[in-house]
Amino acid sequence: MKVTQFLKDHYKHFNAAALIDAAEGYKTHLNRGGKMMITLAGAMSTAELGIILAEMIRQDKVQAITCTGANLEEDIFNLVAHDFYERIPNYRDLTPQDEQDLLDRHLNRVTDTCIPEEEAMRRLEHTVLKYWQKADQAGEAYFPHQFFYQILLSGDLEQYYQIDPKNSWMLEAAKKNLPIFVPGWEDSTLGNIYTGHVISGDIKNVHTMSTGIQYMMELAEWYTNTAKEDSTIGFFQIGGGIAGDFPICVVPMLHQDLQRTGVPLWGYFAQISDSTTSYGSYSGAVPNEKITWGKLGIDTPKFVIESDATIVAPLVFAIVLDM
């Protein structure tokens, strides 16, 4: 039995039904000629969401991605160091000493998965630093994802690949030159490393790396050129935080600050979240709150699936891919 048929047979109510509704809404939006942005919060790349997200990119089911710096780099960490990762299924039972022991072994834990510092972070640092310095010396500037696109397409990392490259969403995105927006990139391992190299003088111009403000400018132009009344852009939000808040704000900015009032609102909205609404968090805000900020309209299809994104997102994508 196909995954899609199984889900439709058994996912009838509550969050299960919301999953089906959001997935069918996603398909309807694309079938009407719409585009889709996916936003990635948390540690979705370390959760290996790239296995199915790469297929979504290959099949043109996503036209742009906004993600944290962590998700940008961790897909490549997994690509080049997967065999050195360690899974800790009993992570809830770890003592402070157990955690220190992991650190002493240069293993950085993300819930039940440890990223190996030497094989992932330092291996990638050696390669990316060459590209940073080359651009710096040439007086050029690029966005974080553009540096990664250059590296991936050059083949410099192929000798280190430890997974099937078709399961790397960043590699698939590079092949299509997919628009990616990375707000707050400095809040990432390589962001910290870049800062260190600027402080030490290895990189002379801090602006060799383009900034979040410039990302918003790029997003504004992309949205303006892409969103049409008959081809609106949908917003599929995985988690919350800056990965979701940054890009969705482009619409009120275009309308209120640039007076581009002819640009349509987001044409579809879905969020996978486990955040609690009553805490005043943006991540937990119900979609209708976004109407008051000029992000969504009264008639925008809106869906919320209150569950674990590592479980829900692959199932939604499976339906979109008709698996």
- pLDDT given for residue 278 in this prediction: 63
> C-alpha angle with apex 244: 239 to 246, nearest 5 degrees?
155
Tens-digit pLDDT profile for residues 223-248: 999 999 999 999 999 998 999 999 99
- Residue 99: pLDDT band by 50, 70, 90 thresholds? very high
pLDDT at 297 over 70: yes
Half-sphere exposure of 36 (CA within 13 A, CB side): 28
Average pLDDT over residues 284-299: 92
Q: State how beta strands 113-116 and 233-238 pair.
A: unpaired
Collapsing DSSP to helix, strand or coil, 198 comes out as helix
Joined tokens for residue 77: 């960490």
Catalogue all structural domains in the chain, each as residue range(s) with its CATH number.
Answer: 3-117+163-184+209-321 (3.40.910.10)
Strands 64-67, 302-306: parallel, antiparallel or unpaired by DSSP? unpaired
Mean local confidence (pLDDT), 289-311: 96
**215, 221, 224, 225: CA torsion to nearest 10:** -120
